[in-house]
């Protein structure tokens, strides 16, 4: 007779620790801030030249800049959802959190990209950049959440996040300053 395993805990996963509300909020906030820092590097650096190509799919830089808070809200919703998922699965540790976040990112953003491809004029290069970049972004959020779930001190996690965001900012500025990525000017 077969025994059915119904949950990750039954398969030997570590039981979720009960995090207080403030620890939960700070963990999600740290993961979100890292997502925002990487997002700046992704869109302001790596993919910046794609936004300057004429494309009826994309908004003007000015309008896109005004709507950035909606994109950031999206990352917050995804980060909070990832927190819930990782807690349910009993994920512990930065590496495991990164792996699960990356897979979740490939699934969520992959579905979004395929959907956009089916109804838009977005170039395949832009869609591929979004798919890979946003998947990595969710993987980074997962690393932060997994580290906190694994018992990492919040001060250390936040210090790492701040350093990583500064590195992303510096890389973006470097890419723009050296001409590898165009500096997009949003002015009227």
Q: Over the stretch 21-49, which tens digit does the pLDDT of each residue have?
A: 899 999 999 999 999 999 999 999 999 88
User: Rounded to whole angstroms, how far apart are CA atoms 175 and 159?
Assistant: 24
pLDDT value of position 18: 55
What percentage of the chain reaches a pLDDT higher than 90?
72
For residue 27, the enclosing domain spans 21-177
User: Rounded to whole angstroms, how far apart are CA atoms 102 and 137?
Assistant: 8
Q: What is the pTM of this model?
A: 0.83
Residue 85 lies in a domain: yes
Number of domains the chain is built from: 1
Q: What is the mean pLDDT of residues 111-126?
A: 93
pLDDT value of position 187: 53
Q: How confident is the model at residue 12 (pLDDT cuts 50, 70, 90)?
A: very low
User: Rounded to whole angstroms, how far apart are CA atoms 166 and 157?
Assistant: 14
pLDDT over 60 (residue 95)? yes
Q: Token pair of 94, please?
A: 């930065």
Q: What is the mean pLDDT of residues 159-174?
A: 97
Residue 12 lies in a domain: no
pLDDT over 80 (residue 4)? no
pLDDT value of position 5: 41
pLDDT over 50 (residue 143)? yes
Residue 136 lies in a domain: yes
Residue 8 lies in a domain: no
Residue 146 lies in a domain: yes
Q: What is the mean pLDDT of residues 146-152?
A: 97
User: Rounded to whole angstroms, how far apart are CA atoms 134 and 102?
Assistant: 9
DSSP string computed for 21-82: HHHHHHHHHHHHHHHHHHHHHIIIIISHHHHHS--TTSPPHHHHHHTHHHHHHHHHHHHHHH
Q: How confident is the model at residue 188 (pLDDT cuts 50, 70, 90)?
A: low
């Amino acid at each position: 007779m077969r025994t059915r395993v119904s949950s990750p805990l039954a398969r030997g996963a570590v039981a979720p620790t009960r995090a207080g509300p403030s620890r939960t909020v700070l963990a999600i906030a740290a993961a979100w801030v890292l997502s925002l820092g990487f997002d700046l590097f992704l869109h302001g650096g790596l993919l910046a030249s794609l936004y300057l190509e004429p494309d009826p799919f994309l908004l003007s830089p000015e309008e896109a800049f005004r709507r950035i808070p909606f994109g950031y809200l999206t990352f917050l919703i995804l980060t909070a959802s990832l927190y819930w998922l990782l807690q349910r699965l009993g994920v512990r540790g930065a590496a495991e959190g990164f792996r699960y976040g990356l897979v979740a990112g490939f699934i969520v953003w992959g579905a979004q990209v395929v959907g956009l491809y089916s109804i838009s004029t977005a170039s395949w290069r832009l869609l591929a950049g979004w798919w890979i970049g946003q998947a990595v972004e969710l993987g980074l959020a997962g690393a932060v959440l997994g580290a906190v779930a694994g018992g990492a001190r919040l001060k250390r996690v936040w210090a790492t996040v701040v350093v990583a965001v500064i590195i992303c900012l510096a890389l973006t500025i470097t890419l723009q300053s050296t001409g590898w990525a165009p500096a997009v000017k949003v002015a009227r």
